[in-house]
Structure 1
């Protein structure tokens, strides 16, 4: 998957991260996955995904879109 490849490239400073890893990236993903990535230390959703991504990236959910905003409509909400 793309996110895991980016993690590897950050750790090896290759690909788009060859000049450093402080580049802005905006990702659109399922709200539940985004919630797991940005969860705090004492939350039930906290897990391996949260720890790994928060170690390398500044993770925030900026906006949540309804799945009905897409054509065809998605069955889940989407977070940016």
Structure 2
């Protein structure tokens, strides 16, 4: 005779195994070490600084920008 199988336990075990597989895939796909995150942040910051240095029209103070805009409206 065949063994009697409790379907509720079987479903729960199958769900746990599927969740474990999904968790493992997520760890591989999205997991990064603290050093990797810090390196990426440093690279992004350096890229932003490089863009700021190469900017043709450096950021102007708001007061100067507002005066120019007011003059353009009157003309």
Q: TM-score, normalised by structure 1?
A: 0.17
Higher gyration radius (CA): 2
Looking at both structures, which has the greater relative contact order when contacts are Cα pairs under 8 Å and sequence separation is at least 6? 1
Q: TM-score, normalised by structure 2?
A: 0.18
Hey, which of these two has a bigger chunk of strand by percent? 1
Hey, which of these two has a bigger chunk of helix by percent? 2
